Chains A and B, each alone.
Chain A
Amino acid sequence: MVNPIFILILSLAAGFLLSIFEKGGRKLSLTVFYGVLSFNVFVIAEWFYRIVFLSEPALIINTAGFTAPLSINLRLGLQESFVLLFTNFTGLMAAIYLFRKFIKSHISSLILYLILIMGINGLVMTRDLFNMFVFMEIVSISTYALTILTKTRDSLTAGFKYMIAGGTASIFFLLGVVFVYYFTGNLNLDFITQSDFSHFGLISLFLLAMAVFIELKPFPANGWALDVYQSVNSGITSVIAVVNSAGIFFVFYKISPLLPVHLLHILGIAGVITFFFSNLMGLKQTNAKRLLGYSSIGQIGLLVASLSFTIHYQTSLIYLIVGGFFVNHLIAKAGLFWLTGIVEKENLKDWGVLKNNKSLLILFGVLLFALSGLPPFPGFWAKWEFIKILTQTKMFWVVGTILLGSLFEIIFLFRWFTIAVKGDIDSNEKEIPFEFSKLFPIALFSGIILLISVAIMKSYYDFTLIQLLPIIAVLGVYLLDFIPSKIKGFLSLIVVGIYGYYLYPFESNLQLFFGIIFIVGSAINIIGTLNRKNLSQGFYGFLLMMIFSFGNLIIAKTYLEFFLAWEFMTISSFVLILRGNKAQMASLMYMIFSTAGAYLMMVGFSYAPALNSNSVLINSIANVQLPVLSIILLAIGFMIKSGSFGVHIWLPEAHAEAESDVSPFISAILLKAGVFGLLMIGISYIKNTPSFDVFYFVGWFGVITALVGAFLASFQEDAKRLLAYSSMSQVGYIVASIAILSHLGWLSAMYLSFNHMMFKSALFIAIAGVYYRTHTRTMYEMGGLIKKMPLSYITVLISIIAVSGVPPLSGFGAKWLIYSSFIEKGWYFQAGVLFFSSGVSFLYLYRLIHTIFLGQLKYEHQDIKEAPIWFIIPQYIFMAGIMAISMNPNLIIQPLNSIVGHYFQSAILIDGYNITSSLGNWNGNLVMMVTMGVFIVPLLFLKLYNGKTQKVEQFNIVYAAERPESPQTTHIAHNMYAHYRKALGGWGKPRIWNFWHEATEWSHSFGDFFRHIYTGNGQTYILHIILYIVVIYIILGV
């Protein structure tokens, strides 16, 4: 064990002597330099180990042979050692990152850097206020000097602005310190308590706090920081943004016990405001490093807020929240700043270069996901707990601001990410040079943050392996990525099988039903992906992640587990969608809407009362009375996921632009997650009804969604968009019938969910096959394919009959149940709307099958073959399913009847094949028989009587007394329902789309407006600082 004061001593000595070592060559000085830095890390690491694992007491170091307060003393407790370990390590990494720079640059840069790190150590350890000032100045001055490590005019300007701003702040700090001495007669934090201050003495604390706070870059007094982040060498920027911020933040942490609560709260709110505005302004930013700067400032604001709002809670929670934000932000930010240094692209638009560099792209992804506070990264847990505290203390404004801010952050971060993955690059773009010294730190940090995440999950929440499974899936498959994708496909099929088998015992009733939809449905759909030729790297990892999170959704025991699975589901599906060729915009929209929904759910869950049993959520939630607010928020969250009207605009994009063998997962299965969620609320709803009937409105939204979806589908030219809108419409039915909250209603909801899973998967896979052969999704470019791909045609035929609800196929069961339930419930007009939409659904269904398979065959499709076998197999598995439940509806009605029976007493009577409701009856089997009969009779007649039929081609027709000139002109397909659109008139306009578009525009222009306060003039920045202090003082006064 080495006395940590040696960190100061050695660094200083080395610093003083480096210029002499330099005489012995740069090698020597570099050795000393890195030696000392690593020595620091080593010393602190040991102490951290001792304190955490051997639980040794905090170490107090007195100087000058006197005890405090006579002399200055240093403290190395848990917090100090943690922060120092982090800062020293980051410092070392940044130094390694800067290795090539340090080889060439002036020796002074080494000295400055060394002493900068030394200063941070002192700053964190010292307990003496004035000594703190000295160390702060050491840090500042060395930073000022280092800003020009790469000397450009910009960095000089930024450095100067930084200096005058910092100087101003330090004046106030000095004033604060001496007045603290004046009022308390002491300078040592251990000997000063809040009670020592007269009311009038608080002014000293105010000055002190403000000086530190200004160093933490609050909005709007932070222009200087942005310029520094933008212009300074990335290595140094990372040090400023991470190491310095950490140090200063710790100073704030040290003095925070002295600060009166109301001041602390005001600073907390200021932090929240900073978070919000910096993210808002980030929206408009195009310069990568400046963008990171905005985000950095915002995150620090959030950090301050989290500290000042949670300071009175138990320490473990504070460690999780504040520590979580701290680690998450700083690690991610350091890594990203380093990346900007490697990529060397100022403008975000040029970041497409990352496409060619998988490893960098992956690192970028990890850090970016971490930064945006998604699970499993520490920021997620911190945010979850923090929001929980804020919600339970009813600070809804703060919650709203924070979440809106993080939504903005998500927007610009993921816009950036999608550019990096999908953005276009000019061909003569040169490869990014590989520099180990630069790549190593980033890789290490990405690894570390993953480790920390897992550590939190294991130790704080003691999650089992099953919750970790999604992450393991991604990492595991990433290691196996060299295997050809077919094998990977088979393997994942097996894995899913095992997983399903493992899950089975945990499931009962409702869970089991959704287990079948999620797991079995996915398994069958995986067969469709076996058609992939290339390696398709990363695909199966995220596919498995998604499937596992479906499963975890079902068996979740707590709100958190549910939400975690939900977020994993979002992430994985986002990545899967992003894999599509033109999916940049689509996936971004998907991410934004999903995140918004997720945040609403987060608040909803945190506001919900605690569960008092440890059975699965879907059972235990029945015993809690959800407050109306959380019901509303949760409902909206789930409806966003299920593409409800008003928030549906992401749905067609995402479902259509995803790779054609991914769409079935997204559209046929993923949507059911929202359904599951709504059912979950419903279960609590029926047991203890809230004061305000939320589900009545949910019901209306459902039916309107059904209608709008059907209409939109009818007006599409793109087959997959058509199917996507059809899904929207179908899920609208489901949502509406859940909202009925009756036995029949839920029966129909589940029946339809199951059906929809089957026919929509089949349809999407069939279209995938067609697309695979014709390379187009635009329907009017096809036609007459029935003879080329008969099997796909049959699938589509059966499926659309099932969708439309025409007897005898299973679809009619759904219709029958739905209408019966609506009329029984007394929702007559809703039922009317549903009749309308089911009428409209014929339009798009006919359009789908006719324009692709019937009508005229195009020349270019003269010689295409049937879809590949891997597409055919799953289709026919689903067909078999549909036929089975059409023949014998009891196969599904009976089990569903008993499942729903747990929540309502049964409203139907089943005897034999006959199902009787309070209104009417339906005998699926008899219907099937009769239909067979009435179909076969004319057929036989035709066969027998009309033997001499003469086969002719499609083209053999007479058209306006002429032969038509070409298939293109003879195939009536394009804009098929123009007259209907005309009839709808004003109702046909894309109002919702325009609304969201306007919203985007507005938020961007707001951001643009606010960021104009950063005039770039250093003087104005000082003015901001002064005014800021004044304003806070005034707020404090009143």
Chain B
Amino acid sequence: MNIWIKILYAIISISVATIYGLILGGFVRKIYARAHGRFGPPIWQPFLDIIQTHGRRVAISHGVMYYLGPVFRLGGGLGTYLFIPVIYGSVVFANFSMAGDLLLVMYFIFFGQLGMALGAGQGGHPYSPLGIARGLAQMSAFEVPFSLAVIAVAIQYQSLNITTIVAAQQGSILNWTLFTNPFAVIAAMISLLGMNMHSPFSIVLAPQEIPIGPPIEMNGSFLGILQTNRGLFAAAKLVLFMNLFFGGATNLLIMVIKTFFIYLVSVIVGASFPRFRPEQSFRFFLKWPTIIGIIGIIFVAYF
């Protein structure tokens, strides 16, 4: 098919995802506020923020890498999203998933994080490396249960191709990985908490300790880009989880519903737990979720 059409489709699906992601973000802030007994900002607050940050007259740059940091970040978000087939059977939302399989997505997630880390690093603010150190460490920890879950899925469907995995879960709700291999899903969901960095795992952006950590020096349109990405990237991750564990989606509505509930899990947890100390968080991920993940593998591989 013509490459331009492909790109057009990509733009469509990206904008949909971004908007959805941002709305989701606003919604979450609302929920948090309510949980804290506040009124909270309007749902469209994230859009306002982005406009506001882009509206700033000056933007301070600490150097080339600093400048590229947000670019990497957004690029990472876009890429991750683009390598995932969002809606099963849809041409528009198939994105560039033919470029690679699950492994590609898993590793492309790092693209943005690494670039951002480098950019923040050049920012020269002591809090950035602190946050990054925490972030990387935690990432290495929650990757373990997640990768175990992924391996379990790969074993189960004998494939790493996301479309194939989704296809295998069609038909009945009971075909979802959630029901065919609950252990793997639990493990994965726990690590999702880590990925979304809500408390108790919000050690990276921990406002009280290292005021929002890595992006602390970011300002103006740099910050704007980051905020845009936050929406898109959240959407991408949720879609990935939906595809792997919750039977994917055949149309936008189902996608929205499923991802919303997936997100809700971490929101609820986040609203109800205090923050871990870093080492507690690492140890946690390397302990229970990992064990569950191992059980998940044994479950599919040897039963």
Contact of A812 among B57, B107, B118, B286 (CB under 8 A): B107
Q: Is the CB of B111 within 8 A of A854?
A: no
Residue of chain A at shortest CB distance from B165: A920
As a 0/1 sequence over residues 274 to 291 of chain B, the CB contacts with chain A under 8 angstroms (1 = contact) are: 000111101100100000
Q: Is the CB of A935 within 8 A of B103?
A: no
Contact of A949 among B59, B107, B124 (CB under 8 A): B59
Q: Is the CB of A922 within 8 A of B100?
A: yes
Given the known inter-chain contacts A815-B107, A957-B123, please indicate yes or no for A786 contacting B114, CB distance below 8 A.
Answer: no
Q: Does B36 contact A (CB under 8 A)?
A: no
- The stretch that binds A, out of B21-29, B84-92, B148-156, B241-249, is B148-156
In angstroms, Cα B217 to Cα A856, docked, is 14
In angstroms, Cα B74 to Cα A840, docked, is 23
Residue of chain A at shortest CB distance from B284: A983
Q: Does A440 contact B (CB under 8 A)?
A: no
- The stretch that binds A, out of B38-46, B61-69, B171-179, B263-271, is B61-69
Chain A residues with CB below 8 A from B141, complex form: 839, 983
Chain B residues with CB below 8 A from A956, complex form: 60, 62
Q: Is the CB of B99 within 8 A of A854?
A: no
Residue of chain B at shortest CB distance from A987: B286
Chain B residues with CB below 8 A from A973, complex form: 129
Q: Is the CB of A920 within 8 A of B103?
A: yes
In angstroms, Cα B147 to Cα A849, docked, is 26
Residue of chain B at shortest CB distance from A800: B114
Q: Is the CB of A950 within 8 A of B60?
A: yes
Q: Does B51 contact A (CB under 8 A)?
A: no
Given the known inter-chain contacts A949-B60, A950-B60, A970-B126, please indicate yes or no for A812 contacting B151, CB distance below 8 A.
Answer: no
Chain A residues with CB below 8 A from B111, complex form: 806-807, 931
Chain B residues with CB below 8 A from A820, complex form: 103, 160
Q: Does B144 contact A (CB under 8 A)?
A: yes
Chain A residues with CB below 8 A from B35, complex form: none
Minimal beta-carbon separation of A805 from chain B (angstroms) = 6
As a 0/1 sequence over residues 119 to 146 of chain B, the CB contacts with chain A under 8 angstroms (1 = contact) are: 0011111100110111011011101100
Give the interface SS of chain B, mostly helix, strand, loop or mixed: helix
Given the known inter-chain contacts A842-B140, A922-B104, please indicate yes or no for A979 contacting B279, CB distance below 8 A.
Answer: yes
Given the known inter-chain contacts A829-B294, A842-B140, A920-B160, please indicate yes or no for A855 contacting B67, CB distance below 8 A.
Answer: no
Chain B residues with CB below 8 A from A959, complex form: 125-126
Q: Does A23 contact B (CB under 8 A)?
A: no
Q: Is the CB of B147 within 8 A of A854?
A: no
Q: Which of A959-983 contact B (CB under 8 A)?
A: 959, 964, 970-973, 976-977, 979-980, 982-983
Chain B residues with CB below 8 A from A948, complex form: 57-59
Chain B residues with CB below 8 A from A1035, complex form: none
In angstroms, Cα B58 to Cα A797, docked, is 29
In angstroms, Cα B195 to Cα A566, docked, is 48
- The stretch that binds B, out of A11-19, A65-73, A830-838, is A830-838
Chain A residues with CB below 8 A from B72, complex form: 935
Given the known inter-chain contacts A970-B126, A972-B129, please indicate yes or no for A804 contacting B118, CB distance below 8 A.
Answer: no
Given the known inter-chain contacts A920-B102, A979-B134, please indicate yes or no for A939 contacting B68, CB distance below 8 A.
Answer: yes
Q: Is the CB of B121 within 8 A of A934?
A: no
Q: Is the CB of B100 within 8 A of A850?
A: no
Q: Does A224 contact B (CB under 8 A)?
A: no
Minimal beta-carbon separation of A285 from chain B (angstroms) = 48
Q: Is the CB of B101 within 8 A of A946?
A: no
In angstroms, Cα B60 to Cα A806, docked, is 29
In angstroms, Cα B256 to Cα A49, docked, is 98
Given the known inter-chain contacts A946-B221, A972-B130, please indicate yes or no for A934 contacting B118, CB distance below 8 A.
Answer: no
Q: Does A846 contact B (CB under 8 A)?
A: yes
Q: Is the CB of B279 within 8 A of A854?
A: no
Q: Is the CB of B137 within 8 A of A843?
A: yes
In angstroms, Cα B62 to Cα A784, docked, is 11
Residue of chain A at shortest CB distance from B95: A930
Chain B residues with CB below 8 A from A831, complex form: 147, 151
Q: Does B32 contact A (CB under 8 A)?
A: no
Contact of A815 among B60, B103, B132, B301 (CB under 8 A): B103
Q: Which of B74, B100, B132, B286 has the most CB of A within 10 A?
A: B100
Contact of B118 among A815, A854, A927 (CB under 8 A): A854
Chain A residues with CB below 8 A from B161, complex form: 919-921
Residue of chain B at shortest CB distance from A940: B71
Minimal beta-carbon separation of A824 from chain B (angstroms) = 9
Q: Is the CB of A846 within 8 A of B136?
A: yes
Chain A residues with CB below 8 A from B59, complex form: 946, 948-950
Q: Does B54 contact A (CB under 8 A)?
A: yes
B contacts with A, residue count (CB < 8 A) = 80
Q: Does B297 contact A (CB under 8 A)?
A: yes
Q: Is the CB of B278 within 8 A of A930?
A: no
Chain B residues with CB below 8 A from A976, complex form: 129, 133
Chain B residues with CB below 8 A from A550, complex form: none
Q: Which of B78, B137, B155, B220 has the most CB of A within 10 A?
A: B137
In angstroms, Cα B286 to Cα A849, docked, is 27
Q: Does A160 contact B (CB under 8 A)?
A: no
Chain B residues with CB below 8 A from A921, complex form: 98, 100-101, 161
Q: Is the CB of B114 within 8 A of A835?
A: no
Q: Does A687 contact B (CB under 8 A)?
A: no
Q: Which of A273-317 contact B (CB under 8 A)?
A: none
Q: Does A392 contact B (CB under 8 A)?
A: no
In angstroms, Cα B123 to Cα A849, docked, is 14
Q: Which of B96, B117, B140 has the most CB of A within 10 A?
A: B140
Q: Does A28 contact B (CB under 8 A)?
A: no
Q: Does B231 contact A (CB under 8 A)?
A: no
Q: Is the CB of A835 within 8 A of B58?
A: no
Contact of A920 among B54, B100, B148, B225 (CB under 8 A): B100
Q: Is the CB of B79 within 8 A of A931?
A: yes
Q: Is the CB of A919 within 8 A of B159?
A: yes
Minimal beta-carbon separation of B54 from chain A (angstroms) = 7
Q: Does B158 contact A (CB under 8 A)?
A: yes
Contact of A919 among B57, B154, B278 (CB under 8 A): B154
Q: Is the CB of B118 within 8 A of A955?
A: no
Contact of A806 among B110, B155, B222, B280 (CB under 8 A): B110
Given the known inter-chain contacts A934-B75, A938-B75, please indicate yes or no for A919 contacting B101, CB distance below 8 A.
Answer: yes
Minimal beta-carbon separation of B57 from chain A (angstroms) = 7
Q: Is the CB of A806 within 8 A of B160?
A: no
Given the known inter-chain contacts A786-B63, A836-B144, please indicate yes or no for A954 contacting B71, CB distance below 8 A.
Answer: no
Q: Does B260 contact A (CB under 8 A)?
A: no
Chain A residues with CB below 8 A from B82, complex form: 930, 934
In angstroms, Cα B293 to Cα A935, docked, is 34
Q: Is the CB of A786 within 8 A of B65?
A: yes
Q: Is the CB of A937 within 8 A of B282?
A: no
Chain A residues with CB below 8 A from B215, complex form: none
Residue of chain B at shortest CB distance from A917: B160
Q: Is the CB of B123 within 8 A of A935?
A: no
Chain A residues with CB below 8 A from B62, complex form: 951-954, 956
Q: Does A828 contact B (CB under 8 A)?
A: yes
Minimal beta-carbon separation of B27 from chain A (angstroms) = 25
In angstroms, Cα B137 to Cα A930, docked, is 29
Contact of B124 among A815, A849, A855 (CB under 8 A): A855
Q: Does A819 contact B (CB under 8 A)?
A: yes
Q: Is the CB of B110 within 8 A of A804?
A: yes
Q: Is the CB of A828 within 8 A of B54?
A: no
Q: Is the CB of B118 within 8 A of A964?
A: no
Residue of chain B at shortest CB distance from A849: B118
25 contacts between A and B (CB under 8 A): A786-B122, A806-B107, A807-B79, A807-B108, A819-B103, A823-B160, A832-B144, A835-B143, A835-B148, A839-B144, A842-B136, A850-B129, A920-B161, A926-B96, A926-B98, A930-B83, A930-B99, A938-B78, A939-B68, A942-B221, A950-B61, A971-B126, A972-B130, A979-B133, A983-B278
Q: 17 more A-B contacts (CB under 8 A) besides A786-B63, A846-B121?
A: A801-B114, A807-B107, A831-B147, A832-B151, A846-B117, A849-B121, A855-B121, A919-B158, A921-B161, A922-B104, A931-B79, A935-B72, A946-B222, A952-B61, A956-B62, A972-B130, A979-B137
In the A-B complex, the 5 residue pairs with the closest CB atoms:
A920-B101, A954-B124, A920-B160, A835-B147, A854-B121
